[in-house]
Structures are given as C-alpha cells and as structure tokens.
Amino acid sequence: MIVIAPQDEPAPGNIKVTRWDWINLALQTLISDGVESVRVLPLGQKLGVSRSSFYWYFQSRQDLLDQLLAHWHETNTQAIVERAKRPAKSIIMGVLNVFECWADERLFDPRLDFAIREWARRSDDVRRAIDKADDDRLSAIRDMYRQHGYDEEDAFIRARVLYYMQIGYYMLDLREPVEARVSHLAAYLRSFTGQEPEGADVAHFMRFMAAR
C-alpha cells in the first residue's frame, strides 16, 4: 500500500498521532475491511487516542472519506496519466512507461483501486469518481498512442485493451508471479503495439524492475 509520509504536527494533547496517521490507518481499513469499517471511534481506539484528535484534523467522517478518495486520485490515477504523458522515443518505450505502474505498487496500488471500486457499489458520488478516473487514464493512454502515429480508432482500442486487461487482471485476483509475467514482456509489447521490441527496450525495463 502507498503510505503517506507525515507532513504536519500532531494535535496538542495527542502527541502520538498526526493527521497522516489517521489517513494511513483509514486507508488500511478501507482496503482490508471496506468503507463501512472506516469509522471514527474504532480508528481512534486502534490509534490509542480520543475522538477529539480526529476532529482536530477533520471536520467529519465524510471529510476523511473525501480525503481518502483524493489520495487515491493523486496516486493511482496520476501515476498512470503522468507516465502515459512522459516523452518516449517510441510507442514501445511509452507502453513500458505505463507498465511501471503495474510493476511497482508504490506507484499504483491495486488493492486500493479494488477497494474504491467496491465502495462505488454503495455510493453514486464514488461511482462518478471511478468513471472519471477511468476516462482520464484511458484518455492519457489513447493520447500516448496518437502521439506515436496511431489513428484515432486504433489508439482508442489499443488503450482500452492495455488498460482493461490490467484492471481485469486485478479484479480476477490472479496470483501469477511477477517473474512469470516479465518473462512474456516482449510478447506483451508486440500485442499492445504491433511492433517488435528491441533488446535494449526490454533491458531498460528489467533495470527498472531490479531497482524497485
């Protein structure tokens, strides 16, 4: 899970916890138990503080939930959008940039994405946030293909295949080892681009994997 580093001072009288302690525990709870378990009193008990600490940092439970949703957008969605927009010498390298999100959970946390999608089943507002995030991610990947000469429809379909395959992979909870997936890297790149990857392209990504 992506853990937020402390960035503020603890509330007076509750020196043990900060706002980020509340958010990190709320994220862990959302992922493990669902949004209905993200409640002020149980979180405070786990942190060993009173509810007054919570209200020093947040206006309400809804305020906390809104910040969890904002964190998800600023991490999972922004990671994909930033890498799809990153300059690349070829579409192969562009796709490998996006692959970084799938390969490093510090960039894209699939468990958090799944938890938000489960939450969306209970909230129309979160469903709209999911729809917008999917559109933003797909648009960025489509534009990446367009930048490398693919026509509008081809770029649109290739973006959907790349993105939906990966999200489906998470939704199915497949347990394939990373090493097994990486062993098929060249074939995946051919499938997603219609081009033959160079050895240097594969080696570049393998260096990224080794440095995680």
Round to whole Å and give the CA distance between 149 and 143. 10
Domain assignment present for 73? yes
User: For residue 176, is pLDDT > 90?
Assistant: no
4, 22, 79, 117 from 51: Cα distances, Å: 21, 11, 34, 28
**Residue 212: pLDDT band with limits 50, 70, 90:** confident
What's the whole-model pTM score? 0.88
- If pLDDT is split at 50, 70 and 90, which confidence band does 4 have? low
Contact 64, 26 (CB under 8 A): yes
pLDDT band at 58 (very low <50, low <70, confident <90, very high): very high
| Residue at a domain's end among 38, 58, 78 | 58
Q: Please report, for the domain that includes residue 20, its CATH number.
A: 1.10.10.60
97 and 36, same domain (yes or no): no
CB within 8 A of 5, min separation 6: which ones? 20
Note down the domain range covering 159: 62-211
CA end-to-end distance (rounded Å), the chain:
14
Share above pLDDT 70 across residues of the chain, in percent, rounded to a whole number: 93
**Helix ranges, 86-198 (H):** 91-103, 110-120, 124-147, 152-171, 178-182, 185-193
How far is 100 from 79, CA to CA, in rounded Å?
Answer: 9
Please tell me whether residues 21 and 66 are part of one structural domain.
no
